[in-house]
Amino acid sequence: MNYQKEAILDRARGALVATAVADALGAGYEFQAPLPDSEPVVFKAKLFDLGEYTDDTAMMVAIARAAKRGNLITELDLVAEEFFEWFKSSPKDIGIQTRKVLKNAKGKTAADLTESATEYLDSHERAAGNGSLMRTAAVALPFLSNPESVGIAADQISSLTHMDLDCREACVIWSKAIRHAILFENFDGIQLAINELPAFRQNYWNEIFDQAESASSPTEFANNGWVIHAIQAAYSAIRLNQTEDPSHLVAGIEAAVRVGNDTDTVAAIAGGLLGARWGYSAIPAKWLKPIHGWPGLKTKDLVNLADEITEPIWL
Ligand SMILES: [Mg+2]
């Protein structure tokens, strides 16, 4: 294993940039039937321009910008500010739940958002959308030395819009898995994160990942706007295409894009963990070139952002 500075930074960059790449690829196939293997996965202009990333990455960028300005745990207001800054830009696309929570917040602080998110949870039967899981890739980077902090930050940031326990724990599991992949180059962080949940929740999540593990296609989790099917579809795309070389990143992202329905989000979720495992260097150049999105960032800017917020622990 390589614990050198450059290798860890490559994987931290990979978490952010592969999220953006997968999101932008998936955006061309959103709300369609699954894409058959016979058709290639390519960038397509639809609601978004060619290579433009969507709300998933934009909100991840908002979190990264907050991490650049301060501490994601003790200065959660910075994340709220960045979310509102993005919201002000009149995004082309925004999740129903996120829009309502931001719109109905009484003020611009983290407390205002969590209050609004709690009201949403209390008044909607279906409040467990995938909209907080999609933006988690940046959360681990400032806390590489401390999985507990990753969990706390992931939980708090989900709660700004998605208060449901399933959403919060999905963010905790995925963010810890991303941290683990950046440091140790494997996917064991998922199980380790589940083992750290309260005992009564461990069976619940083990069953969810067992189902994903035994699926023969990520398309089995068709209701992927729901956080549970989104995490199962993303994990299934990763597992079914797992190899011991960086081509896994490409195959996993393509499988996630092929899933149908909320393709950009399932792909963004899968992309974050695949990028954390295989690194920026595993992403094909043809995928890097057209990437752009809010607030006027390109691939090199996402790389810089990753470098700026990654905690410097060179083991
Ligand atoms: Mg999107």
Q: Per-residue pLDDT tens for 135-156?
A: 999 999 999 999 999 999 999 9
225: nearest Cα among 139, 126, 159: 126
Distance 49 CA to ligand 1 centre (A): 13
Distance 314 CA to ligand 1 centre (A): 34
Q: What is the pLDDT of residues 65-74, one digit of tens each?
A: 999 999 999 9
Distance 48 CA to ligand 1 centre (A): 10
Distance 24 CA to ligand 1 centre (A): 8
Distance 268 CA to ligand 1 centre (A): 8
Span 86-112, average pLDDT = 96
Distance 238 CA to ligand 1 centre (A): 20
How does the average pLDDT of the chain come out, rounded?
96
pLDDT at 288: 98
Q: Is the pLDDT of residue 236 over 70?
A: yes
Distance 264 CA to ligand 1 centre (A): 5
CB distance 299 to 57 below 8 Å: no
Distance 45 CA to ligand 1 centre (A): 14
Q: Percent of the chain at pLDDT above 90? A: 96
Q: How far apart are the first and last CA of the chain?
A: 11
Distance 27 CA to ligand 1 centre (A): 7
Residue 205 CA: distances (Å) to CA of 168, 173, 230: 12, 9, 14
Distance 267 CA to ligand 1 centre (A): 10
Distance 134 CA to ligand 1 centre (A): 8
Q: What is the pLDDT of residues 168-214, one digit of tens each?
A: 999 999 999 999 999 999 999 999 999 999 999 999 999 999 999 99
Distance 53 CA to ligand 1 centre (A): 8
Distance 296 CA to ligand 1 centre (A): 17
Span 93-103, average pLDDT = 95
Distance 111 CA to ligand 1 centre (A): 25
pLDDT at 264: 98
Residue type, position 294, single letter: W
How many CA atoms lie less than 13 Å away from 281 in the CB half-sphere? 9
Q: Is the pLDDT of residue 1 over 60?
A: no
Residues paired with 297 in a beta bridge: 293
Beta strands, E only, the chain:
292-293, 297-298
Q: Is the pLDDT of residue 315 over 90?
A: no
Distance 36 CA to ligand 1 centre (A): 21
Q: Which domains does the chain have, with CATH numbers?
A: 5-309 (1.10.4080.10)
Residue type, position 312, single letter: P
pLDDT at 4: 83
Distance 313 CA to ligand 1 centre (A): 32
Name residues whose C-beta falls within 8 Å of residue 154's C-beta, 6 or more positions apart in sequence. Answer: 136, 139, 168, 171, 172, 174, 175, 176
Span 39-66, average pLDDT = 97
Span 22-30, average pLDDT = 97
Alpha carbon dihedral 186, 188, 192, 195, in 10-degree steps, equals 170
Instruction: Report, in this order, helix, strand and coil percent for the chain, each rounded to 5.
Output: 65, 0, 35
The total of other beta-carbon atoms located within 10 Å of residue 239's CB is: 17
Span 108-127, average pLDDT = 95
Span 276-289, average pLDDT = 98
263: nearest Cα among 149, 134, 117, 144: 134
Q: Is the pLDDT of residue 125 over 90?
A: no
CB distance 7 to 279 below 8 Å: yes
pLDDT at 3: 57
Q: Percent of the chain at pLDDT above 70? A: 99
